[in-house]
C-alpha cells in the first residue's frame, strides 16, 4: 500500500512531467490523477486545486534546480568561470529536457505564469518566486564580476541580474517559436556579454557549432 507521502510526491512529479510535456492550461486534474495512478479523492486530500498543485510542483522542482545552480556558481569557480557555467547550463538544459519535436523546451513554469489570468494567483506567484530565485543568483554573479574588475563602467548588479533573467527567458521563447536551438546558441553568449558589459579581453569566441541560424521550416 502506498504511503501518503508517496502519493503526494507522485502527484507532484507527475504534474511536473505533464506540464513539461505540454502546458499548464492543457493538463487537467483527471489526467494528472490517471498518470499518477491515484483517485481524484486522493488528489483533493492533498491539494485544493490544480493551481495549488502547480505551486507546490514549482517548489519541488526548484529544489532540484537550486542544487544545480549551487554547483555552477560554486565558490570553487572564478566569476568568469561561473559566467561560462551559466551559458553552458542554459544550453545543456535545452539539450537534455526537450520532450517534443521542438529542440527548445524553454521553461513551462515561467511560461504558465505569463499566460495565466488574474484568477490564477498561485500560478503567477509560483512563476514570480522562481524568477526571483534565479535573479538572486544572477545578481551575485554580476557583483562578483564587477568586484574582479571584469566589467566596463559601473553596472547596477540588481538591475543587470534581472535583465539577464529576462533576456534568457525571452531568448528561449524565441527559440521555441523558431524551433531552433542554434538560434539560442548563437545569441546567448553574445547577449549575456553585452548585458553585463564584459570587457573585450575576457570574452570567449563562439564555439564551432554555433553556426548562423536557419529557422526551421513551417509545416506544409
Residue 219 CA to residue 217 CA, distance in Å, equals: 6
Domain membership flag for residue 93: yes
Domain membership flag for residue 37: no
Residue 166 CA to residue 135 CA, distance in Å, equals: 9
Exposure string over 62-91, b if 16+ CB within 10 A, otherwise e: beebeeebeebbeeeeebbebbebbbebbb
pLDDT at 118 over 70: no
The confidence score (pLDDT) of residue 206 equals: 56
Share of the chain above pLDDT 70, in %: 86
Q: Quick one: residue 178, left, alpha or beta (phi over 0 = left, psi -120 to 50 = alpha)?
A: alpha
**Residue 66 pLDDT level (bands cut at 50, 70, 90):** very high
Domain membership flag for residue 131: yes
The confidence score (pLDDT) of residue 220 equals: 38
* Cell numbers linked to 90: 542554459
Backbone φ and ψ of 68, nearest 5°: -65, -45
pTM above 0.95?
no
pLDDT at 61 over 50: yes
pLDDT at 213 over 50: no
Domain membership flag for residue 44: no
Domain membership flag for residue 207: no
Residues in the chain: 220
- When pLDDT is averaged across residues 9-15 and rounded to a whole number, the result is 91
- When pLDDT is averaged across residues 57-69 and rounded to a whole number, the result is 90
The confidence score (pLDDT) of residue 20 equals: 74
* pLDDT single digits (tens) 69-103: 999 999 999 999 999 999 999 999 888 876 667 88
The confidence score (pLDDT) of residue 218 equals: 41
Domain membership flag for residue 21: no
Residue 199 CA to residue 93 CA, distance in Å, equals: 27
The confidence score (pLDDT) of residue 8 equals: 93
* Cell numbers linked to 59: 517548489
* pLDDT single digits (tens) 148-196: 999 999 999 999 999 999 999 999 989 988 999 999 999 999 999 999 9
Residue 22 is classified by DSSP as: S
Domains identified in the chain, total number: 1
Q: What CATH number does the domain containing 59 carry?
A: 1.10.357.10
pLDDT at 219 over 50: no
Domain membership flag for residue 157: yes
pLDDT at 216 over 50: no
| CA distances from residue 34 to 21, 29, 43, 54 in whole angstroms, order as listed | 16, 9, 11, 17
Domain membership flag for residue 208: no
- Residue 124: which domain range? 51-202
- When pLDDT is averaged across residues 109-121 and rounded to a whole number, the result is 67
Give the mean pLDDT of the chain.
86
Amino acid at each position: 500500500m502506498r504511503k501518503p507521502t508517496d502519493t503526494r510526491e507522485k502527484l507532484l512529479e507527475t504534474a511536473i512531467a505533464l506540464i513539461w510535456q505540454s502546458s499548464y492550461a492543457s493538463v487537467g486534474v483527471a489526467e494528472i490523477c490517471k498518470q499518477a495512478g491515484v483517485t481524484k479523492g486522493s488528489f483533493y486530500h492533498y491539494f485544493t486545486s490544480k493551481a495549488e498543485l502547480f505551486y507546490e510542483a514549482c517548489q519541488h522542482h526548484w529544489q532540484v534546480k537550486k542544487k544545480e545552480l549551487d554547483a555552477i556558481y560554486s565558490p570553487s569557480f572564478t566569476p568568469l568561470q561561473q559566467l561560462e557555467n551559466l551559458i553552458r547550463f542554459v544550453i545543456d538544459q535545452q539539450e537534455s529536457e526537450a520532450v517534443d519535436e521542438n529542440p527548445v523546451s524553454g521553461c513551462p513554469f515561467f511560461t504558465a505564469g505569463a499566460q495565466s489570468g488574474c484568477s490564477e494567483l498561485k500560478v503567477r506567484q509560483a512563476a514570480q518566486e522562481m524568477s526571483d530565485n534565479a535573479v538572486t543568483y544572477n545578481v551575485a554573479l554580476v557583483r562578483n564580476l564587477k568586484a574582479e574588475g571584469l566589467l566596463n563602467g559601473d553596472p547596477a548588479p540588481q538591475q543587470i541580474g534581472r535583465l539577464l533573467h529576462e533576456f534568457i527567458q525571452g531568448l528561449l521563447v524565441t527559440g521555441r517559436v523558431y524551433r531552433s536551438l542554434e538560434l539560442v546558441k548563437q545569441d546567448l553568449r553574445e547577449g549575456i556579454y553585452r548585458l553585463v558589459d564584459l570587457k573585450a579581453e575576457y570574452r570567449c569566441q563562439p564555439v564551432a557549432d554555433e553556426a548562423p541560424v536557419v529557422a526551421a521550416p513551417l509545416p506544409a
